[in-house]
Amino acid sequence: MADLRINLAGIKSPNPFWLASAPPTNSGYQVQRAFEAGWGGAVWKTLGDPILNVSSRFAAISFNGQRVAGFNNIELITDRPLEVNLKEIYETKKRFPNHAIIASLMVEPKQEKWHEIVKRVEDVGVDGLELNFGCPHGMAERGMGSASGQVPALVERQTYWVKEVAKTPVIVKLTPNITDITATAEAACNGGADAISMINTINSLMGVDLDTWNTIPHVAGKGAHGGYCGPAVKPIALNMVAECARHPHINVPISGIGGISNWQDAVEFMLMGATGVQVCTAAMHHGFRIVEDMIEGLSNYLDSKGISTVSEIIGKSVPKYSDWGNLDLNYNIVAKINTDVCINCNKCHIACEDTSHQCIDMLTDTNGKSYLKVREEDCVGCNLCSIVCPVDGAIDMIEVPSELPVMTWNERQAALKVAADCKVDVTK
């Protein structure tokens, strides 16, 4: 069995699966139950001046039968006194000394506020700190959370203040509600962050009730934007992790967060540069015991690949992620329809004919049987037919060897520049 232990900037845990700072880590009772179930770490629900919450806090989108494809919340940070949380953190750490407990923190952007809370939480034995610069609702209106996290100078300054007194590793949690997350990630590094985590939730309004015209959720007829998470945000989160992982000035470990629901998602994040992952929505949907499948699946995957430690996969796909300008313009794939598997539903033909490149013909063979065929010379390899096809294995995307050498957009533009510089003037 592969070794699943990780070490994220000095924070050790028995496996890469941590619970994210959120409702599942609200109390010692919950975190201890999570550790009993197998979670390797937990980021405690954000500590700060205890807040007041509203009733009616969550909403979810179900899509084509999948419950909780996306999840939204307008709950704030902890509403319990700091002393109560600290006592439970101490007791939990005492019971589970080998599990990682990270304290998520959020206070006003004042040096003395950060110094005070850092010292108090470290006194009870946390393994690390996570600075919450990401919460997009409620706290942001008070200058905290994503309001801080959207300003690189504030991220850097507050990280620096924390590092002035912190004795444990400092993780900076970043907001995705920003054009370029590498700007704030770099600011965190400049402030001395030992690691970064991403993504926090995305600004969202889940819906409007067609009968009452109320927002979903609503609080006595009024709504406010919430934070979106769950499986729907995974591609956004994965891109942000990858962008940070490949950035030359961001050289700290990454804790990946955003829609991670199973071991496969976790592997994807780790391949794209995450040292470990944090999970919330999946646990809220299915309970703490989903971690059993995550651990078993990850372990089997590593064994099947002949990999002895999970840390070996960290970042292995990062070199494969680049800018569009570095992609080979002469690489070609085309669709191939396997007529023995195809059920002739014609979805591929409709999609191609209406919205793509009109290269799938509906034909009839000599026996009068209908079949679909791709005109490969007109196929641009867009993948749409295989995406809309309801039958696995009915459409394969096949590589077509190119007669032309590799040519990227950047190489092409450079060649055009050379040609312009060397142009011979000729009068006809």
Partner 1 sequence: MSEYQQFQDERDKIDFFIGKGYRINGVNEHLNGATVDFLHPNGNVTETLLIGTANGRKYFSSLLIKQNQGK
415 near partner 1, rule: CB under 8 A: yes
Residues 341-380 that bind partner 1 (CB under 8 A): 375, 377-378
The answer to whether 234 touches 228, Cβ cutoff 8 Å, is no
Q: Which of 357, 209, 185, 205 is nearest to 273 (CA)?
A: 185
Interatomic CA distance for residues 333 and 379, integer angstroms: 8
Radius of gyration of the chain (CA): 25
333 near partner 1, rule: CB under 8 A: no
Report residue 176 CA to chain centroid gap.
10
Residues 273-292 that bind partner 1 (CB under 8 A): none
Query: DSSP assignment of 295-336, as one string?
Result: HHHHHHHHHHHT-SBGGGGTTTTGGG---GGGSBTT-EEEEE
* Helices 82-95 and 28-37, axial angle in degrees (round to 10): 20
The minimum distance between CB 355 and partner 1, in angstroms, equals: 16
324 near partner 1, rule: CB under 8 A: no
Is 221 or 401 the residue whose CB approaches partner 1 more closely?
401
**Among positions 224, 329, 350, 382, the unique one binding partner 1 when judged by CB under 8 A:** 329
The answer to whether 300 touches 306, Cβ cutoff 8 Å, is no
The minimum distance between CB 408 and partner 1, in angstroms, equals: 10
Q: Which of 142, 141, 135 is nearest to 176 (CA)?
A: 135
Residues 374-403 that bind partner 1 (CB under 8 A): 375, 377-378
Beta-ladder partners of 60:
71
Is 247 or 375 the residue whose CB approaches partner 1 more closely?
375
**Among positions 306, 368, 390, 405, the unique one binding partner 1 when judged by CB under 8 A:** 405
Is 262 or 408 the residue whose CB approaches partner 1 more closely?
408
Is 280 or 334 the residue whose CB approaches partner 1 more closely?
334
Report residue 156 CA to chain centroid gap.
22
The minimum distance between CB 322 and partner 1, in angstroms, equals: 19
The minimum distance between CB 354 and partner 1, in angstroms, equals: 17
Is 367 or 427 the residue whose CB approaches partner 1 more closely?
427
Sheet with 58-63: strands ordered across: 58-63, 66-73, 226-229, 202-204
Residues carrying an active site annotation: 135
The answer to whether 4 touches 16, Cβ cutoff 8 Å, is yes
The minimum distance between CB 410 and partner 1, in angstroms, equals: 11
Number of residues this chain uses to bind partner 1 (CB under 8 A): 20
Task: Name the residue with tokens 């002949």.
Answer: 306
Residues that bind partner 1 (CB under 8 A): 329-330, 375, 377-378, 404-405, 407, 411-412, 415-416, 418-420, 422-424, 426, 428
